Amino acid sequence: MEAKEGHIKFEKSGRYFTYGNQETAEHLLIALHGYGQLAEFFIRKFHVLDPDKYFVICPEGLHRFYKAGTSGRVGASWMTKEDRLTDINDYISFLDALMAEVDSLHSFKSKTLLGFSQGGATASRWIGYGKHQFDVFMLWAAVFPPDMDPAAKLKFTTVKNYFIIGTADEYTSIERAKEYHKALNNEHIQFEFVKFEGNHAINSDLLIKLLQ
């Protein structure tokens, strides 16, 4: 007799960190971290923003793990290849619940979603399959999920989309990034190509420029 796979729904808490004054901020930025990062440290990359003008939220991936062995530094992940569809549904539910709470407390003039590295695919799926809309989407040093269906892709037609890459990114080259960008736009998902001098990281100067 073979084993049978099953799933059960239960309540789980998702962690997030914020920066800025939610009462005075006119602009919302939600930033999703990359593989092996924690929101507590990722949000520091956005301290360059005016806290009275921008309210930043960094949700954390639902799966934490020790980065080396069984102790020491901890990182978080949005998903792996194992039981991936369940994990995708779970993090979309988490992000939708977070956004619903934010909307209930304050109204913003603009909403930007930034997905860095692994967080880029997560952010893409949230736009495609979630319940909330954004004005700007930054796919930063990341790839767009290849399995998005046409209906989900249509949601990006009402968003200003940026595909952002550093000239010294450790995981790709500018040439390959340009080829990927061309292929992406051939799928009728329009992303503006933006490069900066730097590696696989958030560039503060470019971030401020794009948010203006």
Q: Is 73 exposed, middle or buried (0-12, 13-18, 19+ CB in 10 A)?
A: exposed
Residue 205 pLDDT > 90: yes
Residue pair 26/108 in contact by the 8 Å Cβ criterion: yes
Residue 191: per-residue pLDDT? 95
Residue 184: per-residue pLDDT? 87
The whole-number average pLDDT for the span 117-139 is: 97
Residue 56: per-residue pLDDT? 98
Sign of CA dihedral 50, 170, 167, 139: negative
Range 16-211 has CATH code 3.40.50.1820 = yes
- Spatial neighbors of 73 by CB under 8 A, at least 6 apart, are 66, 67
Residue 212 pLDDT > 90: no
Average pLDDT taken over every residue of the chain? 95
Please report which confidence band the pLDDT of residue 185 belongs to, taking 50, 70 and 90 as the band edges. confident
Residue 108 pLDDT > 90: yes
Instruction: Count the neighbouring beta carbons within 10 Å of the beta carbon of residue 44.
Output: 12
Residue 139 pLDDT > 90: yes
